[in-house]
């Protein structure tokens, strides 16, 4: 895992040095540069594979192809063997060198042969052509912009800002999406004219302009006969084992994130069975018991023979991380679990350099708590608006509570989605901080007039439509795989994976997610809905894989997310700081928010009648970003 930066066109070594300096945390072990006519490549290295020989940028035998990569190519040994059989000569044991020879051999199709998490830049010296590419699920970030007919790219937005070519002007569309979905969606960024490369996408630049963009992977749903639960479980276990085995390869110490939930337990079971050594597992617990799963993590570790390391997180511990979170986040992110993610990353990095995680399980097996509500409302006729309005009034009358997914929080969230035109609009209204109408009232007219409050819902709907499926599939057959894919392409990529990447790389820790292996994703997207819902709801497939291997209590306890008790914090230890960020004078000078609407939001939450934790947290984190992020790296 590393950090990359560069330009194709007119740039300088000095600019490149500034770009790599601000992402030194991603790669503290080494740096490297390649600067020639029309090209500059910069690299910061965290040594994982071929520690002594994997210096980047690196080239093919004759120096006509240069490559830098942030990430890992899994199973690269088989690709290397195929290339060696075609007379390619290798000088290192690095997975990055495989990319240079793969491009020589297969040209623009080379990415089809690469399975992993990566952001790649390839410079073709003969053609004076740059190609940048991002992995299939967007696990590794890659930002880009164009300035004076020069393409600039980097692993983090702060790196582009450091080059001096980014005009830091807030994009109203991105601002609206942030408040409606808790994150800025790909391909947009918080700044105008700066973009994130789409996943499974490569883009070429030649002659001062974008030459082409192309997709190198797209999953498909194929109508299949039901093979039965036994065969489904066997196929799933085999693929998880392959994905875990490939991710156990490292020339540095490797361990596991262990939350106490099912996803990390499945990864831990497979890893402990296949590793040639006793593995270490790392858990963050909470002194707020409504958010704590550490007892189940301990039971899992004991059952699997893992060396277990546990730290209990107090409110004061988490609160001390808030400013650090905003320092590492280049864009506003309203996911409070960035705080425990930072702490577990810091804690884990004291012992290992690589950690396996369970990210992706909820998206692929429909594990989120609002899935049953979708099931119910998907079959309710929409002929009358009276019943939804009546039900919404009843749900909104349930008092707020500070606990994890309290009854009041769930009831009031449910009310927001009633009456939505379809499941995609309903989902955005349930999950995000604010509805479009609420946001319009919160913003000053200058911003409110420029935003598109329908974009977030349209985006989720559009992502769902990208999934290819067999014409023999019924509407029901295709809906839930499309929902999973849409979540992989939005919530997981733009919120969860951003949080994990930034938090782990801040401490030079590499996180690997076996569930996001392409083969596992394609397999689970094609598993019939009956094995994810109904009798198999609550990720029962994972429970069956673990049954008899971990205590029954680990399998049966209620699901907890990796969350933080922000509802209580906003009325308690963060109250004064929130007041400072929302003062009338400050808001008037800032010119983004309506001061009265902000104060109404704070009063409503403090009253205990309306749960505004998500709205306030999104506002709070935006204000911190605005202070710490929008104007730094001059």
Residues 458-485 pLDDT 10s: 999 999 999 888 766 777 678 999 999 9
Predicted confidence band of residue 566 (pLDDT cuts 50, 70, 90) = confident
Mean pLDDT for the stretch of residues 496-511: 96
Q: How many CB atoms lie within 10 A of CB 595?
A: 16
pLDDT given at position 568: 83
pLDDT given at position 562: 60
Predicted confidence band of residue 629 (pLDDT cuts 50, 70, 90) = low
Residue pLDDT, tens place only, 251-264: 899 999 999 999 99
Residue % of the chain over a pLDDT of 70: 95
- Strands (DSSP E) contained in 435-536 are 468-469, 510-512
* Side-chain half-sphere CA neighbours of 300 within 13 A: 36
**Quick check: 144 and 222 in contact, CB under 8 A?**
no
Q: How many CB atoms lie within 10 A of CB 364?
A: 27
More confident residue, 417 or 98: 98
Quick one: how many helices (H) and strands (E) in the chain?
29, 19
Mean pLDDT for the stretch of residues 586-611: 93
Res 243 pLDDT > 80: yes
Q: What is the mean pLDDT of the chain?
A: 91
Res 632 pLDDT > 60: no
DSSP string, 144-165: EEEETTEEEEESSHHHHHHHT-
Predicted confidence band of residue 634 (pLDDT cuts 50, 70, 90) = very low
Closest CA to 150 of 57, 38, 4: 38
User: What is the side-by-side order of every strand in the sheet holding 194-196?
Assistant: 30-36, 39-45, 2-8, 150-154, 143-147, 194-196
Predicted confidence band of residue 221 (pLDDT cuts 50, 70, 90) = confident
Mean pLDDT for the stretch of residues 412-436: 88
pTM of the model: 0.94
More confident residue, 352 or 468: 352
Helix residue spans in 64-134 (DSSP H): 76-85, 95-106
Q: How many CB atoms lie within 10 A of CB 585?
A: 8
* Alpha carbon distance 159, 139 (integer Å): 18
* Alpha carbon distance 527, 481 (integer Å): 9
Mean pLDDT for the stretch of residues 380-407: 69
Mean pLDDT for the stretch of residues 389-410: 72
Closest CA to 355 of 4, 21, 24, 46: 46
Residue 613: φ, ψ to 5°: -60, -45
Closest CA to 280 of 247, 248, 297, 257: 257
Residue 208: φ, ψ to 5°: 80, 20
Alpha carbon separation from 365 to 331, 372, 480 (Å, rounded):
29, 13, 10
Alpha carbon separation from 62 to 67, 76, 285, 352 (Å, rounded):
13, 22, 53, 37
Res 33 pLDDT > 90: yes
Predicted confidence band of residue 391 (pLDDT cuts 50, 70, 90) = confident
Q: How many CB atoms lie within 10 A of CB 253?
A: 13
* Alpha carbon distance 28, 24 (integer Å): 6
End-to-end CA distance of the chain: 26
In the block, tokens 């076996």 appear at: 514
Closest CA to 7 of 164, 137, 229: 164
* Alpha carbon distance 545, 551 (integer Å): 13
Classify residue 474 by its DSSP letter: -
Which stretch of 116-120, 324-328, 385-389, 460-464 has the lowest confidence by average pLDDT? 385-389
3-state SS track over 378-430: HCCCCCCCHHHHHHHHHHHCCCCCCCCCCHHHHHHHHHHHCCCCCHHHHHHHH
Residue % of the chain over a pLDDT of 90: 74
pLDDT given at position 395: 76
pLDDT given at position 48: 75
Q: CA quadruple 133, 216, 515, 293: dihedral positive or negative?
A: positive
Q: So which residues are the catalytic ones?
A: 2
pLDDT given at position 559: 72
Alpha carbon separation from 587 to 85, 168, 442, 449 (Å, rounded):
65, 19, 11, 18
* Alpha carbon distance 564, 313 (integer Å): 10
Closest CA to 334 of 181, 457, 491: 181
Length of the chain in residues, anyone?
634
Closest CA to 566 of 262, 310, 321, 260: 321
3-state helix, strand, coil in the chain (%, to 5): 50, 20, 35
* Alpha carbon distance 324, 156 (integer Å): 16
More confident residue, 319 or 202: 202
Closest CA to 136 of 580, 518, 559, 535: 518
Question: 118-144 burial, b for 16+ CB within 10 Å, e for fewer?
Answer: bbbbbbbbeeebbbbbbbbbbbbbbbb
Res 631 pLDDT > 70: no
More confident residue, 53 or 338: 338
* Alpha carbon distance 395, 16 (integer Å): 55
Alpha carbon separation from 54 to 40, 113, 509 (Å, rounded):
19, 20, 18
Which stretch of 159-163, 356-360, 368-372 has the lowest confidence by average pLDDT? 368-372
Mean pLDDT for the stretch of residues 319-340: 90
* Alpha carbon distance 160, 105 (integer Å): 32
Res 402 pLDDT > 90: no
* Alpha carbon distance 503, 188 (integer Å): 21
Predicted confidence band of residue 563 (pLDDT cuts 50, 70, 90) = low
Alpha carbon separation from 17 to 13, 34, 40, 155 (Å, rounded):
6, 11, 10, 14
Residue pLDDT, tens place only, 112-168: 999 999 999 999 999 999 999 999 999 999 999 999 999 999 999 999 999 999 999
Residue pLDDT, tens place only, 578-595: 999 999 999 999 999 999
Mean pLDDT for the stretch of residues 69-81: 95
Q: Map out the domains of the chain with their CATH numbers.
A: 2-215 (3.60.20.10), 221-365+487-556 (3.40.50.620)
**Quick check: 76 and 118 in contact, CB under 8 A?**
no
Mean pLDDT for the stretch of residues 557-565: 71
**Quick check: 121 and 185 in contact, CB under 8 A?**
no
User: What is the side-by-side order of every strand in the sheet holding 65-74?
Assistant: 58-59, 65-74, 115-124, 129-134, 201-206, 209-215
Res 504 pLDDT > 50: yes
Which stretch of 29-43, 79-93, 394-408 has the lowest confidence by average pLDDT? 394-408
The CA-based dihedral angle spanning residues 406, 410, 416, 421, taken in that order and rounded to the nearest 10 degrees: 160
Mean pLDDT for the stretch of residues 301-315: 92
């Amino acid at each position: 895992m590393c950090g990359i930066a560069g330009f194709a066109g007119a740039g300088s070594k000095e600019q490149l040095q500034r770009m790599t300096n601000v992402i030194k945390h991603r790669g503290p072990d080494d740096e490297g540069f390649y600067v020639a006519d029309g090209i500059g490549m910069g690299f910061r290295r965290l040594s994982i594979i071929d520690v002594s020989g994997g210096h980047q940028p690196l080239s093919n035998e004759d120096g006509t192809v240069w490559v830098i990569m942030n990430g890992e190519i899994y199973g690269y040994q088989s690709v290397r063997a195929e290339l060696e059989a075609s007379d390619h000569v290798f000088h290192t044991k690095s997975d990055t060198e495989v990319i240079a020879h793969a491009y020589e051999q297969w040209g623009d199709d080379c990415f089809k042969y690469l399975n992993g998490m990566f952001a790649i830049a390839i410079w073709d010296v003969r053609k004076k052509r740059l190609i940048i590419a991002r992995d299939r699920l967007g696990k590794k970030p890659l930002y880009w912009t164009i300035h004076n007919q020069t393409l600039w790219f980097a692993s983090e937005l702060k790196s582009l800002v450091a080059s001096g070519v980014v005009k830091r002007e807030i994009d109203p569309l991105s601002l609206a999406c942030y408040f409606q979905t808790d994150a800025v969606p790909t391909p947009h960024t918080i700044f105008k004219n700066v973009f994130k490369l789409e996943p499974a996408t490569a883009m070429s630049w030649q002659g001062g302009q974008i030459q082409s963009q192309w997709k190198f992977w797209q999953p498909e749903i194929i109508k299949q006969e039901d093979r039965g639960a036994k065969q489904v479980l066997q196929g799933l276990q085999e693929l998880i084992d392959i994905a875990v085995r490939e991710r156990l390869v490292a020339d540095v110490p490797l361990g596991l994130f262990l939350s106490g939930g099912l996803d990390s337990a499945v990864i831990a079971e497979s890893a402990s069975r296949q590793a040639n050594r006793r593995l270490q597992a790392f858990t963050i617990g909470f002194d707020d018991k409504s958010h704590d799963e550490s007892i189940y993590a301990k039971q899992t570790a004991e059952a699997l023979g893992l060396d277990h390391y546990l730290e209990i997180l107090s409110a004061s511990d988490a609160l001390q991380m808030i400013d650090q979170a905003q320092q590492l986040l280049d864009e506003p992110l309203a996911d409070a679990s960035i705080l425990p993610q930072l702490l577990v990353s810091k804690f884990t990095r004291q012992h290992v350099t690589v950690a396996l995680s369970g990210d992706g399980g909820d998206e692929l097996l429909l594990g989120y708590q609002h899935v049953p509500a979708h099931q119910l409302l998907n079959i309710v006729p929409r002929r009358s608006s009276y019943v939804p309005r009546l039900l919404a009034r009843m749900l909104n009358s349930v008092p707020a509570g500070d606990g994890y997914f309290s009854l009041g929080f769930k009831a009031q969230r449910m009310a927001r989605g009633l009456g939505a035109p379809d499941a995609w609009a309903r989902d955005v209204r349930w999950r995000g901080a604010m509805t479009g109408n609420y946001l319009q009232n919160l913003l000053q007219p200058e911003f409110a007039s420029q935003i598109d409050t329908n974009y977030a819902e349209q985006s989720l709907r559009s992502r769902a439509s990208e999934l290819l499926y067999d014409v023999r599939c019924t509407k029901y057959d295709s809906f839930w795989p499309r929902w999973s894919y849409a979540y992989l392409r939005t919530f997981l990529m733009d919120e969860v994976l951003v949080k994990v990447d930034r938090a782990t790389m801040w401490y030079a820790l590499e996180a690997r997610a076996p569930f996001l292996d392409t083969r596992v994703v394609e397999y689970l997207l094609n598993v019939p809905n009956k094995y994810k819902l109904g009798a198999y709801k609550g990720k029962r497939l994972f429970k069956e894989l673990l049954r008899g291997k971990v205590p029954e209590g680990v399998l049966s306890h209620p699901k907890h997310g990796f969350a933080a008790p922000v509802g209580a914090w906003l009325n308690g230890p963060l109250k004064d700081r929130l007041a400072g960020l929302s003062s009338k004078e400050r808001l008037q000078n800032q010119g983004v928010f309506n001061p009265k609407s902000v104060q109404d939001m704070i009063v409503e939450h403090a009253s205990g009648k309306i749960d505004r934790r998500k709205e306030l947290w999104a506002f709070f984190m935006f204000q911190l970003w605005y202070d710490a992020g929008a104007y730094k790296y001059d």
